[in-house]
Structure 1
């Protein structure tokens, strides 16, 4: 009976049902589309995981493994295991057409065990393929070098002491992961040529990987655990295809996380609209519910009817959601395709459909819950009084809003893959909504005071806003949130671009050099002096690993399988690697102390037993370090003990030589080290000349063209911002649906009032003006508030998260306010069109 009653009432109120379904489905679309995209990406990574790793298991480190470690590794893996040894490092290539930083992949004849390289000549390089670069001093290069330097097959390049002939271009590399803002294109060479090249000297930056092909059957995870037990140094990493796949997807994962948070805002606004529409619907049904109560229907039965209705509407909403998701997915995957080596073709699969069903059915129930419980307060005796029924009457049960808040919170954490980011997002959203409610409430009250107008429809418009505060606030919050979201990204982008404007800003480097050997430092300085270039920063780099923290052995953090927050991923990565130490007398201009005291001066072995340490504040937070903690380092076999005396904040976008850990001057000065240097802004021609000169004179010194790298970052940011703006636009469109739904519902409730105005002599134009003035005032102020709040939020994000200089641009917010207001007027006009055109005679006949 209850199901029949629920369905019959929905059929009778089909317009309400359509509004509810469309509003909810639009909010679900972004959420489901991202879920489908992420699922497709994860499946593609899983399917290509062995190709990405090129092995069943990889043992890697940023140093050479000792003979003892190699023997331990070989003692763990089973008999029949095949082994490949690969090096990867940055280096400079030189040619008649210029120099360029490249990422050198030095391989052997066994590489790759899985995956393949597709060359431009048509050759496909696999594990058992004969490789031409193994037979002679030749190389394969990425096609970027063709576009950047004009290099092509047959040209010759110099790599260290090697003269290499280009024999082919790599058309497709299945072992490459994401290429969002790579510092350098790859080249492939024979590993046996490395000693002759002279590139890998003491202190050189490189990654060594032993790639293993295991006999079948072998449990990779069990072997990984055994390998970690045998190789105790946290700097030695052991990867399986699944862990390598997770790592390769991490870069795109961060973008997906934030896209997901924006989609949750769209879902929130959709829920706001759905809740308001449902409230209006229930308000029209209270009298009928009271009649049913007198006929014997219990309160819980009445509530069950409307729970069934909400769930049924949610179920039906999945149909347009899936249709809209199919339309959005190609656009979303097209925007993100440049970040993946795969041709992703995401579709709404079973998992995404289940998420959609859960959110639609359960979500519809919880957003309706605060109004459904009002049925328990309904008294049938009100049928015999002249009082009107209202949903807002009865006991206020604030707990009914708690399920919505909990769901919103856990969805945010799930989408952000971070308790910290998710909690901050929810906190920020609550703060923004509270501000919008406060400002909206003040706006509504202000509207009630604006009475001194000659034209009656102006006066009545503002009074109407004040009388219908609930509907007005819902519109204000929805449009304010949409305006805020649509303006944050352009503001951040403007600040990012301003941060990297090099002209006239000598404090930002144009070149960055590293791997300078101790004995090469005077020679590099001579080259700079000859070219009249003063280095912005010259810092020593000492490689070390942490042995103990506060007397406890510093243990490796092993990443578990399954869901992990971004904080857990970062902590594992930071713990499972060596550290680079440096020293200097004073802090640079790009860093300042946030806790603790400065260095007391040079280290004095007569009075000090521990060196003083300065640690970057975010690194300390990830590692759990605090002021006063004692750390013991292994520096080339020598133990160095130090105590943290301060935490400092570093502005990484300055591109100055900065480090996570600084050691007091006088402790590491005699330790084996290399040097890094930053070169100030130079014109393009002089920059290229200096880069070529360094590459020709010091073949092992790597030079990063910061200007080109920043251009790549900005292009990547541009692509990412389009993806984010797509979701922000979806959120704003959802806000417009909320606006349309509320305006339409309000017009319907005020139909008698509006037609009575016509009977009293108001023209159709005056009635339309009455409606448009009301919503123009509300939409303009809500859009303006959202735009102004976006400036505050953008400033906070840029200052405290990205630690950059904020550049305010008024053009974008003001233009968006005008556009949002104009669109709001259009939507309000369309929503009220049939009422405005309706003959007043019709309503008089209905009243008879």
Structure 2
């Protein structure tokens, strides 16, 4: 019986299936991608690091740290830093990451070079490996020379990849590998230079790396050094990509939830039409269980087939993610298909189809044979207890499923609660609209307008179902769109002609005047001359930093205790700063207490407030200070911002170096200035923000593409759900339209009646959905992203009329058979 009825209703059942296919496809593709990502990270953990474990230090290791490093007998060592290089062949200059290597690194994976043989011979031959893309950009080849600081070396070959580097990091500062023994001769490691020392180790599989890490890390921590194993590093890498997964999972959840809405609304209308047929079956002796199972088997079959089709689409779709995210992954992702996500997809299709169709399905259980004669739409209502039980099961499923995807219990609860509140508001608005139309019915309107309004509240009306389906779908789509705008607004990059776009770092005091003269000699202006003083915290609120490191109950973040702060001194605030607590002190006299200004994020992480004492170690000299003010800093602005700012009159005599900034109008001016500076002052580092702007914008375009893709994916799902919901209502309106035509109504009148009805439904549902999305997005911006929210007009200009027109178009297509054929022919065909 289920099979026979399904064949007669195959078009409607296919629409039910379409509602869930895309949702299942999104979930399966993202789950498969996440599984592949974790497996690849786990499988390639040693190759990603190139060793079993490393010890690294942001400064030259202390005597105690060096003794620990030497006792473990490192198999390779490295010093790396950012610097400028020059190509004497064509005068080109570039900011790169210089990596001075000695030993057999990497022990796992390989240096991919061209020619391949130089990866094992460059150290003995004294050549340099230069990033392959960089060589193409500056048109150099093996055998040409490269100038690094005061040293000129031959290029041994092109470096295609090295363990631990990603396409993103290589784009910012391409790697240049130099034999370690030449680093001192470059004379680039001067006072204030940012550098990192790393020592690589290869051990047997019998060594317990976690035990070694637990034993040595506290000792190294006291010496401002760290020990990282290949497993701990890959765990952090996996956590980093979890954030990408969470957004993708959220988008998949929205797509799946839209599918659930489509099932619930479509099956509600579908079963309502079948109630009279079920009553006839019961008159003929069918039991409650038989009539219930007929439609349960149909819905279960749809769920299984839809889940299987969605899973297969998901398997194909997940092939896109490695391509979309290739620039963010430090390895090549190998795709493999596992059965678990596919089985989950089939189970989800079955389970969610039955669960969200259960409420209308239960109505078949309570149909009475007398309903053959009744016309009251409330004749066969399920008990309130049963209804509440089903609603409870749906809420539990939504929470558990969202928690499984998002992995955050509070966010999952908030998302489900927001959806439920939206559902209640939409249902309340629909019921309120029905009552309002009833009470203030415009009796003086013409026949077609009155008839369309009557359709909104007469028996068998679809107002509540369609308003909820349209409104909830619009709400989820608009919320995703507004959230996408918030995410992308956080990553906007802008520049003006008044802003500095060239930053010259590591200028030593004897070079200061000469560097400034070089800038002015190129017809440019020195916009900023910023002094930098390096220091570390010695004590916080009277407690020594060394004691805080050993305190396992501390609330102060670890980075504060180990960080080497680069501070400055000045007598005024910049445009990116705003004092939020305390008072800004611009200058102090000798012997006055030193009141410093700290950023709000440092205040939070160091648990500092205005008036708290902090003692700094300034290159061996202890300096007592107090927190005078706390600043809110806009770190998104591409300019030099500082966590700690001293007033003028304190650090002028401390060991320091300077940063100069200028603005260049074009590429030619930038290239000429960089060539002059690098040739005369090899130790300085030049950052061309114009290149950084271009790079960041390219990366953000890719991020935007991913976000827009997932938003578009959910929008397509929402459109399919709307088509399914409205299309299913076709079978309710055909009989009424046939009766109107039999009574003499013209085709134009029937079209107007249907058009007005669907305009009311589309406008009401989509408008309320967009308004609710606006409110929820404002809450997300203020409380989650902590960003100002400027709503886009796209949902109002595009979604509101677009969804309304879509609803009207589908609604009018429902009655085309009535308009093209005779009433008797239509009734026979539909029967």
Give me the TM-score of the superposition, normalised by structure 1.
0.82
Question: How many angstroms apart in 2 are the aligned matches of 1:780 and 1:356?
Answer: 34
Establish whether residue 189 from structure 1 lines up as the match of residue 174 from structure 2: no
Establish whether residue 502 from structure 1 lines up as the match of residue 495 from structure 2: yes
Question: How many angstroms apart in 1 are the aligned matches of 2:384 and 2:795?
Answer: 45
3-state DSSP of counterpart to 2:106: coil
2:60 corresponds in structure 1 to: 64
Question: How many angstroms apart in 1 are the aligned matches of 2:402 and 2:726?
Answer: 30
1:223 corresponds in structure 2 to: 212
2:750 corresponds in structure 1 to: 767
Question: How many angstroms apart in 2 are the aligned matches of 1:240 and 1:837?
Answer: 74
CA shift digits 1:370-412 (9 cap, x unpaired): 6678799989998997643468765376675455456545655
Check the 8 A contact 2:362/2:382 in 1, yes or no.
Answer: no
1:562 corresponds in structure 2 to: none
Tell me which moved more, 82-91 or 671-680. 671-680
2:506 corresponds in structure 1 to: 515
3-state DSSP of counterpart to 2:506: strand
1:213, distance to aligned residue in structure 2 (A): 0.6
Structure 2 gap segments, 5+ residues each: none
Distance change >3 Å, CA 428–CA 454, structure 1 → 2 = closer
1:311, distance to aligned residue in structure 2 (A): 6.0
1:116 corresponds in structure 2 to: 110
2:677 corresponds in structure 1 to: 694
1:489, distance to aligned residue in structure 2 (A): 7.9
Distance change >3 Å, CA 761–CA 722, structure 1 → 2 = farther
Count of equivalent residues: 818
Tell me which moved more, 197-206 or 433-442. 433-442
Structure 1 gap segments, 5+ residues each: 559-567
CA shift digits 1:524-578 (9 cap, x unpaired): 33333444413246252424257556738433899xxxxxxxxx9x977777755
3-state DSSP of counterpart to 2:154: strand
2:467 corresponds in structure 1 to: 473
Establish whether residue 615 from structure 1 lines up as the match of residue 599 from structure 2: yes
CA shift digits 1:798-819 (9 cap, x unpaired): 8998888988876897456665
Distance change >3 Å, CA 416–CA 165, structure 1 → 2 = farther
3-state DSSP of counterpart to 2:48: helix
Please provide the CA RMSD for this pair.
4.6
Check the 8 A contact 1:486/1:728 in 2, yes or no.
Answer: yes
CA shift digits 1:647-696 (9 cap, x unpaired): 43222232121123445555555444443344346333323322333322
1:57, distance to aligned residue in structure 2 (A): 0.5
Check the 8 A contact 2:531/2:656 in 1, yes or no.
Answer: no
CA shift digits 1:500-546 (9 cap, x unpaired): 44344x1x331233333344334333333444413246252424257
Question: How many angstroms apart in 2 are the aligned matches of 1:536 and 1:802?
Answer: 32
1:753, distance to aligned residue in structure 2 (A): 1.3
Check the 8 A contact 1:322/1:348 in 2, yes or no.
Answer: no
Question: How many angstroms apart in 1 are the aligned matches of 2:80 and 2:329?
Answer: 21
User: Where in structure 2 are the equivalents of 1:664-703 lying within 5 Å?
Assistant: 668-680=651-663, 682-703=665-686
1:239 corresponds in structure 2 to: 228
Question: How many angstroms apart in 1 are the aligned matches of 2:830 and 2:778?
Answer: 57
Question: How many angstroms apart in 2 are the aligned matches of 1:291 and 1:620?
Answer: 74
CA shift digits 1:102-124 (9 cap, x unpaired): 11122113111111122222437
2:328 corresponds in structure 1 to: 339
3-state DSSP of counterpart to 1:502: coil
Check the 8 A contact 1:371/1:391 in 2, yes or no.
Answer: no
Given the alignment, which residue of 46, 53, 56 partners 1:50?
A: 46
Question: How many angstroms apart in 1 are the aligned matches of 2:827 and 2:513?
Answer: 98
Check the 8 A contact 2:526/2:661 in 1, yes or no.
Answer: no
2:578 corresponds in structure 1 to: 592
Check the 8 A contact 1:160/1:197 in 2, yes or no.
Answer: yes
1:732, distance to aligned residue in structure 2 (A): 0.9
3-state DSSP of counterpart to 1:656: coil
Question: How many angstroms apart in 2 are the aligned matches of 1:144 and 1:580?
Answer: 32
2:519 corresponds in structure 1 to: 528
Question: How many angstroms apart in 1 are the aligned matches of 2:723 and 2:253?
Answer: 20
3-state DSSP of counterpart to 1:654: coil
Check the 8 A contact 2:534/2:566 in 1, yes or no.
Answer: yes
Check the 8 A contact 1:543/1:579 in 2, yes or no.
Answer: yes
Tell me which moved more, 700-709 or 475-484. 475-484
Given the alignment, which residue of 99, 104, 118 partners 2:98?
A: 104
Distance change >3 Å, CA 600–CA 322, structure 1 → 2 = same
CA shift digits 1:690-716 (9 cap, x unpaired): 233332232222122112111111111
CA shift digits 1:788-844 (9 cap, x unpaired): 888888888889988889888768974566655555555445555556556421566
Question: How many angstroms apart in 2 are the aligned matches of 1:707 and 1:681?
Answer: 9
User: Where in structure 2 are the equivalents of 1:731-746 lying within 5 Å?
Assistant: 731-746=714-729
1:150, distance to aligned residue in structure 2 (A): 3.0
Given the alignment, which residue of 687, 694, 699 partners 1:704?
A: 687
3-state DSSP of counterpart to 2:168: coil
Distance change >3 Å, CA 844–CA 418, structure 1 → 2 = closer
1:168 corresponds in structure 2 to: 157
Question: How many angstroms apart in 2 are the aligned matches of 1:444 and 1:557?
Answer: 65
Distance change >3 Å, CA 8–CA 134, structure 1 → 2 = farther
Check the 8 A contact 1:92/1:102 in 2, yes or no.
Answer: yes
2:135 corresponds in structure 1 to: 146
Distance change >3 Å, CA 743–CA 298, structure 1 → 2 = closer
Question: How many angstroms apart in 2 are the aligned matches of 1:93 and 1:391?
Answer: 82
Question: How many angstroms apart in 1 are the aligned matches of 2:185 and 2:775?
Answer: 57
Check the 8 A contact 2:111/2:159 in 1, yes or no.
Answer: yes
1:565 corresponds in structure 2 to: none
Tell me which moved more, 401-410 or 41-50. 401-410
Establish whether residue 29 from structure 1 lines up as the match of residue 13 from structure 2: no
Distance change >3 Å, CA 102–CA 203, structure 1 → 2 = same
1:228, distance to aligned residue in structure 2 (A): 1.0
1:356, distance to aligned residue in structure 2 (A): 2.7
Check the 8 A contact 1:31/1:260 in 2, yes or no.
Answer: yes
Distance change >3 Å, CA 38–CA 304, structure 1 → 2 = same
Question: How many angstroms apart in 2 are the aligned matches of 1:234 and 1:366?
Answer: 59
3-state DSSP of counterpart to 1:211: strand
